[in-house]
Structure 1
Amino acid sequence: MDPFATVEPRYGRESLADVLPSALSVLGVPGEPDPLGLRAQLDGVRRIAVVLLDGLGWHQLPPAAADAPTLTDIAEGRLGTARPITSGFPSTTPVSLVTLGTGAAPGRHGIVGFNLNRPGTDQIVNHLRWTDEPDPRTWQPLPTAFTRAHEAGLSPTVVTDPKFRGSGLSVSAFRGARLGPGVEADAVAEGMLAALRESRLVYGYLPDVDRAGHDFGLGTPQWHAAASEADRLVTRLLDGLPPDSALIVVADHGQLDVPADRRLDLDRDPRLTAGVAVVAGEARVRYLHTIPGARGDVLAAWRAVLGDGAWVTTREEAVAAGWFGPVPESHLQRIGDVVVVCRDRWVVLASAHEPPRLGTMVAFHGSSTAAEMEIPLLIVRR
């Protein structure tokens, strides 16, 4: 598929939201659906390890092939099975982690963007820096798949960076699981394999590929080194898996490099700030909360400036198109009055609203292109 083609999320069929419900179904949890059809493939499996490789989308697997022989063997069918599924929308880490952790589309769990306006205020909730305000259990009210696994006696464990313990994002995505430490590839592998002795569902996370893409760009030596570390993690997991187990490898999104001439800064263009009260979202998907009565003018101005570089639409149209899945009334106002979804390689920066580092990043994600939305579902049965 053309990496710049638009890909709609396939909730309830082939999406990141369907991974843990299908895994729980394999493990015999009553009432869990199996939209990915894993029961036949993994019949008899008693333990499942799920590892998420941040930023290693489906379209990034071929460029990583020389650095990732194990992942390549799985992707090409020599060691396991592989197919593309979709992330949720926006295709960004906080949205994806909660989508995976709850088994629900973003509209239902409410984490519908990287940065969200807290309705009724001018405050922005940054979901990577979020702690206890707003309360994670009300901001994201759904029970997680890990809670359901715990109630079913599976003793689920999540292995991730200890600095995220107790964060709003961790509580939203992983509550119900025991937390184990693991930052680098070897430590994550060690923690996951140790947890599999007692837990029947273990999840682990590695940020390296995403970080290298943001900082240096895809295809750079640093990015290839990060892909090699991801492969090292998967190789160690496969080498140590118990006989009655399976490994599922997914990502949260892909990435694409953005050249300098495709970067707009809304805070340097008065046409783009006029009528806007609060700026949220991120560079590939902007949420604009407008001054009362100004939405029509904001729509017109942004459409005139961005042209074919973005889909500029209303909240109602974006929700009706199904990008977020069903959105309850309680979550609607978190989405901007105007939604700006960048196409091709365009981004909209916000230098007066966000840290300077964002303007120096090379690779971005969050939008609806295949390069960002399509992620791998790699499965190896021990």
Structure 2
Amino acid sequence: MWPSANSRPFSRSARPTVIWRPTCTCCVADEPIAGFLRRVQTVTSQPIGLSVPAYGKASLAELLPSLMAGLGVTGFDDVLGLRPALTDVRHVIVLLIDGLGEHNLTAHPDTAPTLTSLASPIGPVHAASPSTTPVSLATLNTGVPPGEHGIVGFTVALPGTDRLLTHTDWRTDPSPGKWQPVPTVFERARRVGVTVHAVGPGRFIGSGLTEAIYRGAEYRAAVSPGDLVARTVASATGEGLSLVYAYHGDLDLTGHVRGCASAAWRAELSQVDSIVGSILSGIGPDTALVVTADHGMLDVVSGDKVDLDATTTEPGGADAVALSRGVRLLAGEPRARHVHTRPGAEVDVLAAWTEILGERAWVQSRQQAIDEGLFGPTVPAVHAERIGDVVAWARNGAAMTASRREPGAHSLVGYHGSLTDMELAVPVRIGRG
């Protein structure tokens, strides 16, 4: 349930269509089934405080299709009921503020008076899971959950290899069109006559992630926040219908490094509010500005970090050693881990991570995560194998860091990726020129 008075109750969808099934059932052959179930029984129940995204009802996957349907574009469904908010609108600007969760925003109304004053006709929606930028942006821009578009983590293991792919550093290997095969909303809208632009940092041009999730949009580089405003406003013009997607990432970066409870974060939120105000002052009455985000954020104190790289002479070293047994590759991020195991080790790794992490994480097998619908109702086999053999979602304020393999991520203050309301709930605020 959302805390907002505007929110609608979320109901769990039907059991997902699981196209993939594990083949390593032999790994439990030497253990009685009852004993195996006792070892993993705590994994199968969804813990209090964590939610499964409301795919198909109220998630980022429904936002762009609902906006297009609200404009009257054929081939899209207004699942979110946004049509009344788009009366007489021809141009829609979607401003994506990286890291601005609904709870982060509503906690600071005086810092962002313009943004918090905008209409919230449907309340917040859910980010994707993991609640991280590549996964949520792919979900937003394709209109389908992660299991379908295939971008299932910040960092994932390339199937059949010992290589890791970090989606934000991705170039051409693997091929973006094959790795993410779903047509984007931009492509679909463009085919029926909508003018589509994306505005964001120039460094994103030519990246694998850009090629995978912005296909169909003409990408316009912005060199500064002011340039972002100017290029966004200039793109929302013309006689026909248009969709403009604009991305701003400084708030997320500030939150990671300084923390989302810091003065620096609040100052950056004030800058975001200025961007919103500048766009609103530059657009006409036939243009709607929709502000949303890819995830929220919370701060993690050092004592709540489980360092998976700790040595036996360091605090938590014994646990780190036990958690490393049977692990082939560690992927994901500190609050949403994909753990790829050595052949035959899945059951032991699942049991160890469940027992050692306890209430600090919801630990599941790959199949359990799929069955829970965490990657959506449909997960093709080619995408399922990108998910860890074991998946761990951080609870409360915990994080599963790796100080030697991922020193940068280990040193951060603000984190996201898991399934708490702080991370999953993202705003949908709408203003008119």
Asked if 1:217 corresponds to 2:259, the answer is yes
2:390 paired residue among 338, 354, 373: 338
Contact 1:264–1:347 (8 Å) recurs in 2? yes
Deviations 1:250-283 (A, max 9, x none): 0100000001111011122210110001111110
Q: Which range moves more in the overlay, 180-189 or 136-145?
A: 180-189
How many pairs were matched up?
377
| 1:243 maps to 2:285 | yes
What amino acid is the match of 1:30?
T
Is 2:306 the counterpart of 1:264?
Answer: yes
Give runs of aligned pairs for residues 352-367 of structure 1, distance below 5 A. Answer: 352-354=404-406, 356-367=407-418
Q: SS of the residue aligned with 1:22?
A: helix
User: In the alignment, is residue 128 of structure 1 matched against residue 168 of structure 2?
Assistant: yes
Q: Does 1:376 align with 2:424?
A: no
Quote the Cα distance in structure 2 between the aligned partners of 1:307 and 1:183: 46
Structure 1 letter corresponding to 2:417: G
Q: Is residue 71–residue 86 contact of structure 2 (8 Å, CA) maintained in 1? A: no
Q: CA deviation at 1:73?
A: 1.1
Offset at residue 101 of structure 1 (A):
0.9
RMSD: 1.5
Write the distance in 2 (CA, Å) between the matches of 1:352 and 1:327.
Answer: 33
| Residue of structure 2 in register with 1:279 after alignment | 330
Alignment of 1:293-304 (within 5 A): 293-304=344-355
- On the 8 A contact 1:82/1:376 being kept in 2, the answer is no
Q: TM-score with structure 1 length normalisation?
A: 0.95
Which residue identity lines up with residue 292 of structure 2 in the other structure? V
Q: Does the 8 Å CA contact 2:261/2:299 hold for their aligned counterparts?
A: no
- 1:150 Cα shift? 1.4
Q: Bigger CA drift: 246-255 or 81-90?
A: 81-90
Distance, in Å, in 2 between the alignment partners of 1:40 and 1:224 is 33
Shift of 1:184: 3.2
What is the CA-CA distance between 1:219 and the residue it aligns to?
2.4
Tell me which of 33, 49, 55 is aligned to 1:11: 55
TM-score by length of 2: 0.84
Alignment correspondent of 1:327: 379
Whether the 8 Å contact between 1:208 and 1:229 is mirrored in structure 2 is: no
Question: 1:64 & 1:55 partners in 2: Cα distance?
Answer: 14
- Tell me by how many angstroms 1:56 deviates: 0.7
**1: CA distance between counterparts of 2:404 and 2:254?**
25
Residues 190 and 82 of structure 1: CA distance in aligned 2, closer, same or farther (over 3 Å): farther
In the alignment, structure 1 residue 170 sits paired with structure 2 residue 174: no
1:34-73 aligned at under 5 Å gives the runs 34-73=78-117
Q: Distance in 2 between matches of 1:81 and 1:209?
A: 24
Percent identity, aligned pairs only? 44
> Compared with structure 1, are the counterparts of its residues 183 and 348 closer, same or farther at alpha carbon in structure 2 (3 Å cutoff)?
farther
Amino acid at match of 1:105: P
Query: Which position in structure 2 is the counterpart of 1:313?
Result: 364
CA deviations on 1:181-217 (whole Å, 9 max, x unpaired) are 1253222111100111247110101112111110101
Q: Give 1:301 shift.
A: 1.1
**Paired AA for residue 291 in structure 1:** R
Q: Deviations over 1:278-330 (max 9, x none)?
A: 11111001111111111111111111210110011100000000011021111
Per-residue CA deviations over 1:138-164 (Å, capped at 9, x if unaligned) read 000011011112112212000000000
Rg (Cα) greater in structure: 2
Of stretches 152-161 and 2-11 in structure 1, the one that deviates more from structure 2 is 2-11
2:131–2:424 CA contact under 8 A, matched in 1 = yes
Distance 2:260 2:410 in 1: 17
Report the counterpart of residue 95 of structure 1 in structure 2.
135
Distance 1:313 1:2 in 2: 27
CA drift of 1:82 comes to: 5.9
Per the alignment, residue 292 of structure 1 pairs with 343
Consecutive unaligned residues in structure 1, runs of 5 or more: none
SS at match of 1:351: coil
Instruction: Answer yes or no: is the 8 Å Cα contact 1:94–1:128 preserved in 2.
Output: yes
CA distance in 1, matches of 2:85, 2:259: 36
**Paired letter, 2:289:** L
| Partner SS state of residue 199, structure 2 | strand
Task: Give 2:399's aligned residue.
Answer: 347
**Map of 1:83 onto structure 2:** 123
In 2, distance between residues paired with 1:116 and 1:311? Answer: 19
Q: Which amino acid aligns with 1:338?
A: V
SS in 1 for 2:107: helix
| Contact in 2 for aligned 1:185/1:232 (Cα 8 Å) | no
> Which residue pairs with 2:153 in the alignment?
113
Alpha-carbon distance between aligned partners in 2 of 1:18 and 1:12, rounded to the nearest angstrom = 7
Paired residue type of 1:361: L
SS in 2 for 1:61: helix
* CA–CA separation in structure 2 for the residues paired with 1:153 and 1:41: 22
